[in-house]
């Protein structure tokens, strides 16, 4: 593998292990399933895999409630299997990034269990944010209050603990040096097992201004765009400077911040040369399918990252948001992060897929690095009609069903159209039910169809590599009438985000199109054009 700054132009594929592939017949995906399907990632042409959490956990928040940071949950496998996965991925030329969850532990973590048994004021309690009374009115991102009683979890006193997420995810106190030191050693534990990097969960949340004036009702929601006393406090940066020193002791390792901060100037602070290597570009993810909006985000991104020497990154989907094949067909203002509300009208699936394919082709031609979420290469839609009894995201329960939550983007993948459970595992079992529409999206159906979304992703990734688009430079050609057009090296991209067809510019040969083009580029379509010799 090449050894210099590989992440700057990498395409990184997110695996949400419980929904990727099941190898053990329990209906839940696992590390064995990932190993079995590494060839899919090889054929797709990505450079790295990011694994969402696989640690021991009560799984109240899909494993983002970690009970032990140095092991693998038996649900997913064991440490030996993890080592095999890393070795096999490396043999196949794929890097491996894992998720680290430092804002909170599970309430099952040994530390919180010790805190429950210890008395107020004890060192065991000082690892968490525990007070005699709630010191502010913050709410949980998943709904309901962010303060719960220690007694609710079994303590026999009246203190309260803070949890910005579920009540089983108590927030750690990052002013405590024991907490800081523990995470430095957890990083080393996994770096020594040869992981290539970390995706840092809720990276903007570790430091809180607990004494700030009370917030207004929805302020605790991560959808809020500005700085809040629980998010993006300046104190987080010194933590990551320490982390960066640890990573720099090893060759070629990287870390990427999940920081839901939409102000690009603030985001840039996370990627200063001695902090993160990159952050997710949520401004891009939350942009509408609109030429003006997209151009603004792309320009903001260029300005804010180039200034600090960081690579640009791009992302359209992940395990927390409505899949972009559905989101991009929603009326403006309804693109909720935590899933659709029950009152949403059913979006137009064809329109969604057309726009998703167009948005993806736009993204994959941009210089920098791109993140893909499992299933988007199949054009999977959000599963919008899961029955209430199947839902598992704590958001659903904590908002009394007001928000459906994120289960709809976490449905087990379809691999084979004619197999039970669409080939997710050896049996028909799947931890969330799959919609009938998944048959047409299955990997085996799409592999043999040159027009499929999977074929489009494979072709685009191959051309991206061949023409070094990831390390290229963007030059705008025209952006008017809902059209985005830019040149990146020998490729020109034209994206028609408007409602009228556009005559195909005469730059050269169309080598990839998100939808068939003739002399015109239809609405909701992106094309890549290779320049003729004269260009
Ligand atoms: C991040 C994760 C999300 C999780 C939350 C709490 O936003 O991506 O899935 O629920 O953090 O850990």
Give the start-to-end residue ranges of the domains of the chain: 6-103+177-455, 110-162, 473-531
What is the structure's pLDDT at 225? 44
Report which DSSP code applies to 147. E
- What CA–CA distance (Å, rounded) separates 326 from 322? 7
Catalytic residue among 30, 166, 258, 335: 258
CATH number, domain 473-531, options 2.30.40.10, 2.60.40.1180, 3.40.30.10, 3.30.365.10: 2.60.40.1180
- What CA–CA distance (Å, rounded) separates 218 from 1? 47
50 in contact with ligand 1, CB cutoff 6 A: no
- Chain-centroid distance of CA 400 in Å reads 25
Question: Which pair of structure tokens corresponds to residue 176?
Answer: 């405590």
What is the structure's pLDDT at 343? 67
Atom of ligand 1 nearest to the CA of 142: 10
The pTM for the full model equals: 0.96
- Chain-centroid distance of CA 242 in Å reads 24
Q: Phi and psi dihedrals of 376, rounded to 5?
A: -70, -25
Closest CA to 263 of 300, 216, 212, 236: 300
Our answer to whether residue 335 is catalytic in this structure is no
Task: Give Cα separations from 203 to 63, 238, 243, 264, 275 (angstroms).
Answer: 17, 12, 12, 15, 11
Question: Which pair of structure tokens corresponds to residue 438?
Answer: 């998944």
Per-residue pLDDT at 533 exceeds 80: no
- What CA–CA distance (Å, rounded) separates 65 from 67? 7
64 in contact with ligand 1, CB cutoff 6 A: yes
Local confidence band at 531 (pLDDT 50, 70, 90 cut-offs): confident
Write the pLDDT tens digit of every residue in 28-67: 999 999 999 999 999 999 999 999 999 999 999 999 999 9
Strands of 280-381, DSSP E: 313-315, 369-373
Closest CA to 176 of 147, 134, 140, 208: 208
Catalytic residue among 99, 201, 393, 524: 201
Per-residue pLDDT at 390 exceeds 50: yes
**Residue having the nearest C-alpha atom to atom 9 of ligand 1:** 320
Distance of CA 173 from the midpoint of ligand 1 (Å): 18
- Chain-centroid distance of CA 135 in Å reads 32
Strands of 94-214, DSSP E: 95-100, 130-131, 147-149, 160-162, 197-200
Write the pLDDT tens digit of every residue in 410-448: 999 999 999 999 999 999 999 999 999 999 999 999 999
382 in contact with ligand 1, CB cutoff 6 A: no
Residues 6+ apart with CB under 8 A from 192: none
Determine the length of the chain: 535
Return the bridge partners of 171, or none.
104
Exposure string over 98-128, b if 16+ CB within 10 A, otherwise e: bbbbbbbbbbbbebbbebbebeeeeebbbbb
Helix 236-248 and helix 177-192: axis angle, to 10°?
30
Which architecture, in CATH terms, is 110-162?
Alpha-Beta Complex (3.90)
What is the structure's pLDDT at 104? 98
Local confidence band at 339 (pLDDT 50, 70, 90 cut-offs): low
Contact between 361 and 1 under an 8 Å Cβ cutoff? The reply is no
Q: Which CATH superfamily is domain 6-103+177-455 in?
A: Glycosidases (3.20.20.80)
The rounded mean pLDDT for the chain is: 94
Residues 6+ apart with CB under 8 A from 350: none
Our answer to whether residue 466 is catalytic in this structure is no
Atom of ligand 1 nearest to the CA of 318: 8
What is the structure's pLDDT at 217? 57
Contact between 134 and 160 under an 8 Å Cβ cutoff? The reply is yes
**Residue having the nearest C-alpha atom to atom 2 of ligand 1:** 201
Q: Could you tell me which residue, 244 or 262, shows the higher pLDDT?
A: 244
């Amino acid at each position: 593998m090449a050894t210099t700054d590989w992440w700057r132009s990498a395409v990184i594929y997110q695996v949400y292990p419980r929904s990727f592939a099941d190898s053990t017949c329990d209906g839940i995906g696992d590390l064995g399933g990932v190993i079995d399907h590494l060839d899919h990632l090889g054929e797709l042409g990505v450079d790295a895999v990011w694994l969402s959490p696989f640690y021991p956990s009560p799984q109240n928040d899909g494993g983002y409630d970690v009970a032990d940071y140095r092991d693998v949950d038996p649900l997913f496998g064991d440490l030996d299997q993890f080592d095999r996965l890393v070795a096999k991925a490396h043999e196949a030329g794929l890097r491996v990034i894992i998720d680290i969850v430092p804002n909170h532990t599970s309430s099952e973590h040994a530390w919180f269990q010790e805190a429950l048994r210890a008395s107020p004021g004890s060192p065991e309690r000082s690892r968490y944010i525990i007070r005699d009374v709630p010191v502010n009115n913050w709410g949980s991102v998943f709904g309901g209050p962010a303060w719960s009683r220690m007694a609710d979890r079994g303590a026999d006193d009246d203190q309260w603990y803070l949890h910005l997420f579920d009540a089983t995810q108590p927030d750690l106190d990052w002013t405590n040096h024991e907490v800081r030191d523990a995470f430095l050693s957890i990083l080393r534990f996994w770096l020594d097992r040869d992981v290539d990097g970390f995706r840092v969960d809720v990276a903007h949340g570790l430091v809180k201004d607990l004494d700030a004036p009370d917030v207004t009702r929805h302020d605790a929601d991560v959808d809020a765009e500005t700085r809040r006393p629980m998010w993006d406090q300046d104190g987080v940066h010194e933590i990551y400077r320490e982390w960066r020193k640890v990573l720099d002791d090893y060759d070629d390792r990287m870390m990427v911040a999940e920081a839901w901060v939409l102000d690009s100037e603030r985001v840039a602070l996370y990627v200063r040369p001695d902090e993160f290597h990159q952050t997710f570009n949520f401004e891009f993810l939350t942009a509408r399918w609109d030429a003006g909006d997209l151009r603004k985000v792309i320009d903001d991104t260029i300005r804010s990252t180039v200034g600090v020497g960081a690579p640009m990154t791009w992302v359209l989907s992940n395990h927390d948001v409505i899949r972009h094949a559905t989101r991009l067909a929603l009326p403006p203002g309804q693109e909720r992060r935590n899933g659709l509300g029950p009152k949403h009208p059913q979006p137009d699936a064809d329109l969604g897929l057309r726009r998703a394919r167009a948005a993806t082709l736009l993204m994959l031609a941009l210089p920098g690095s791109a993140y893909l979420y499992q299933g988007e290469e199949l054009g999977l839609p959000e599963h919008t009609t899961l029955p209430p009894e199947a839902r598992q995201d704590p958001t659903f329960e904590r908002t009394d069903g007001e928000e459906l939550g994120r289960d709809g983007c976490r449905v087990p993948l379809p691999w084979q159209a004619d197999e039970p459970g669409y080939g997710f595992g050896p049996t028909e079992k799947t931890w969330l039910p799959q919609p009938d529409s998944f048959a047409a999206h299955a990997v085996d159906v799409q592999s043999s169809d040159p027009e499929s979304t999977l074929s489009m992703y494979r072709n685009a990734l191959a051309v991206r590599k061949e023409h070094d688009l990831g390390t290229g430079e963007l030059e705008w050609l025209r952006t008017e009438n809902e059209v985005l057009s830019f040149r990146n090296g020998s490729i020109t991209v034209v994206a028609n985000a408007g409602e009228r067809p556009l005559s195909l510019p005469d730059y050269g040969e169309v080598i990839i199109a998100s939808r068939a083009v003739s002399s015109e580029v239809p609405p909701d379509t992106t094309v890549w054009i290779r320049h003729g010799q004269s260009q």
